[in-house]
């Protein structure tokens, strides 16, 4: 795919995420007023991750265009740093967290929506915004993977970073429950302490598996071994 269409595509996706975030924050939901605000929901954290990631992509594209044909070593060095940051965020956060949010949300939603997205939320969140938060993330990140080759970090470093994020979020959810006495997700209210531990461990394992899936898919698309 040509450079300019890729730039336009990334800019459009970035604007889409900005619109979704603005519309979501404008909703007057009781949950936004409680401890942790929007930041207690993995969906919102993922939206911020995706917006930041595509912001870095757009910045990288602009920098690439500005340095094209130039001979400044400093500009080349800064561009390489941007590309490295872009690739790291894609590998460790944008792909595994984005795919995890989409697959987990819709899997639980299909089983029993009240466990993850109670019907009362339909009074606050329109259907298009729900899909913007929980559906379009997957095709957007797959489009990015298909249009651009991303250099993954070493597997040990990548998995360590993903584990750090997963454990950090789990501890954050547990801390919110400790402070408020309420679990962020209704599903957790129905699980015994032992089952909660298994659920959290399984979620951490799944997000690590998704990191490996992203690495394999990236290599398959771009045939890096050849």
Condensed to tens digits (0 to 9), the pLDDT of residues 158-194 reads 999 999 999 999 999 999 999 999 999 999 999 999 9
Per-residue model confidence (pLDDT) at position 4: 52
Q: How far is CA 28 from CA 25, 39, 123, in A?
A: 8, 15, 11
Residue 1 pLDDT exceeds 50: no
Residue 55 pLDDT exceeds 90: yes
Nearest to 95 by CA among 1, 9, 218: 218
Residue 6 pLDDT exceeds 70: yes
Q: Give the sign of the dihedral formed by CA 55, CA 61, CA 64, CA 65.
A: negative
Residue 224 pLDDT exceeds 60: no
Residue 28 pLDDT exceeds 90: no
Kindly state the DSSP code that residue 114 receives in the 8-state scheme. G
Q: Name which residue leads in pLDDT, 74 or 177.
A: 177
Q: Name which residue leads in pLDDT, 139 or 225.
A: 139
Average pLDDT over residues 15-24: 95
Placement of tokens 């209210």 in the chain: 189
């Amino acid at each position: 795919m040509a450079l300019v269409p890729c730039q336009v595509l990334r800019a459009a996706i970035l604007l889409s995420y900005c619109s979704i975030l603005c519309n979501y924050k404008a909703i007057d939901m009781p949950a936004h007023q409680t401890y942790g605000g929007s930041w207690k929901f993995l969906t919102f954290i993922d939206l911020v991750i995706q917006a930041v990631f595509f912001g870095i992509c757009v910045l990288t594209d602009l920098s690439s265009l500005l340095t094209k044909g130039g001979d400044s070593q400093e500009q080349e060095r800064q561009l390489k740093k941007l590309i490295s940051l872009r690739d790291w965020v894609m590998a460790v956060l944008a792909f595994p967290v984005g795919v995890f949010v989409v697959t987990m949300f819709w899997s639980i939603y299909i089983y029993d929506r009240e466990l993850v997205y109670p019907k009362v939320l339909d009074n606050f969140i329109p259907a298009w915004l729900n899909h913007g938060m929980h559906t379009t993330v997957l095709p957007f990140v797959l489009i990015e993977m298909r249009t651009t080759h991303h250099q993954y970090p070493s597997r040990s470093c990548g998995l360590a970073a993903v584990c750090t994020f997963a454990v950090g979020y789990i501890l954050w959810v547990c801390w919110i429950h400790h402070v408020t006495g309420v679990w962020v997700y209704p599903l957790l209210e129905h699980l015994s302490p032992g089952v909660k531990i298994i659920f959290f461990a399984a979620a951490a394992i799944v997000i690590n598996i998704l990191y490996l899936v992203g690495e394999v898919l990236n290599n398959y698309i771009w045939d890096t071994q050849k």
